[in-house]
Chain A
């Protein structure tokens, strides 16, 4: 085994609970079918608080249908989603036998246990300090999902929770990859989660004018690259992947979905919420991911775009892809899966990496829905309405994830 080969990282397990389904098979088949996970919310937040948005991409299978009652009581919803996804991913990987000291857990949330935080505050104001529950701190802390996954699996090589807003899930996977490459672990369970469909964060996102207000058509509201897009649709859920050194996976005869070949990171240092219109940071992240994977632009056949359905963000990204790849961008198949899932914030980068892995494994790029009139400034070929076949042979796919704060993460996935 050469040194280079021993640093190769492969994906051997996938897990998710999303607005499209309670596991990976239902989520993926709904995505290929072009279904929307956005729906009208069953609450009175609009009447009660004047929140202008009445819909969201809510989780399809509620955790209380899946998890035992004590776990529901002692975990914030963000941790509940992460646990559901992590257990599926672990079983999907064949529950590998690995020394705990060689097993890592990296699970991020962009916002953390906000339900617990705000419920605790309500309890304190309404009923006083004696009524605030003792489990409040371990439930609200943003490292809680990583900690519980580590506890569940006995992952002792390290439990980490990297926070970079909507890039968090992708950054977690990039970090997990580095843990294997630098020799800290043989197997890392990593991903992202978010449970933010609470009136306060929705009011706050609405206040920043970033949410779609298409209340009369929830399923048509997330429409990246359509000329009539008017903002993102808030979503919730989690996705987790099991990463493994190629050597470890081969030794146990594991099924390998794809290779995670490169990670590229950068920061815009431009504005706290707006992407740098020049796309310099985005280009740098993608360029670094390709260099890290030791591949070149012509190899790239598919990009899962960050594309949240905002006026500015969507086009900045396609300009960045064009800047990076030049004429090679003509043979890239671009998918914006948030058109179906909504925006899972800290879970988004993990779910879209999972989709990228599935796309490479099945040679099928998922569709982008709701694009009735493509923006004329869209600079990369878009997969619309139905899945599109990816070419045979060696291929490279990129997942882009960008976060408020100017965080850019690109992950390069290649066939096994």
Chain B
């Protein structure tokens, strides 16, 4: 069953919080993974791995570089569920 955008944001925030120690409410759509959340490439790949698991989607490596913000990731995951 497909997750809604707000469910994806909530789930993604939990993954990011677990990886970085940031509070979940700091992980909002407009935040940049690198500039605002200070997530390096290894951490980003870890988050991608957990997100694929959680939402049952595949996020190819070529797509990861296009996911600048949390909102970008939510949008991609939402679309990839179809």
Question: Which residues of A pack against B, CB within 8 Å?
Answer: 68-70, 73-74, 130-131, 133-135, 138
The interface residues of chain A, by DSSP majority, are classed as helix
Question: Which residues of B pack against A, CB within 8 Å?
Answer: 18-21, 42-43, 45-46, 49, 52-53, 58
B42 touches A69 (CB 8 A): no
Q: How far is the CA of A113 from the CA of B43 in the complex (A)?
A: 19
Known: A130-B52, A131-B53. A69 touches B21 (CB 8 A): yes
Known: A134-B42, A135-B42. A70 touches B49 (CB 8 A): no
A133 touches B21 (CB 8 A): no
Known: A131-B49, A131-B53, A134-B49. A70 touches B19 (CB 8 A): yes
Q: Which residues of A contact B46 (CB under 8 A)?
A: 133-135
Closest to B47 in A: A134
Q: Which residues of A contact B53 (CB under 8 A)?
A: 131
Q: How far is the CA of A133 from the CA of B21 in the complex (A)?
A: 18
Task: List 4 A-B pairs, minimum CB-CB distance, nearest first.
Answer: A134-B45, A70-B21, A134-B42, A134-B46
Q: How many A-B residue pairs have CB under 8 A?
A: 25
B49 touches A68 (CB 8 A): no
Q: Which residues of B contact A70 (CB under 8 A)?
A: 18-21
Q: Which residues of A contact B20 (CB under 8 A)?
A: 70
B49 touches A73 (CB 8 A): no
Q: Which residues of A contact B45 (CB under 8 A)?
A: 134
Instruction: Looking at the assembled complex, report how far the CB atom of B22 sits from the nearest CB atom of chain A, in whole angstroms.
Output: 9
Q: How far is the CA of A69 from the CA of B21 in the complex (A)?
A: 7
CB contact between A133 and one of B18, B49, B58 (< 8 Å): that residue: B49
CB contact between B18 and one of A73, A134, A135, A138 (< 8 Å): that residue: A73
Instruction: Looking at the assembled complex, report how far the CB atom of B81 sits from the nearest CB atom of chain A, in whole angstroms.
Output: 17
Q: Which residues of A contact B49 (CB under 8 A)?
A: 130-131, 133-134
17 contacts between A and B (CB under 8 A): A68-B21, A69-B18, A69-B21, A70-B18, A70-B19, A70-B20, A70-B21, A130-B49, A130-B52, A130-B58, A131-B53, A134-B42, A134-B45, A134-B49, A135-B43, A135-B46, A138-B42
Q: How far is the CA of A59 from the CA of B49 in the complex (A)?
A: 31
Closest to B53 in A: A131
Q: How far is the CA of A134 from the CA of B47 in the complex (A)?
A: 9
Q: Which residues of B contact A74 (CB under 8 A)?
A: 19
Q: Which residues of B contact A68 (CB under 8 A)?
A: 21
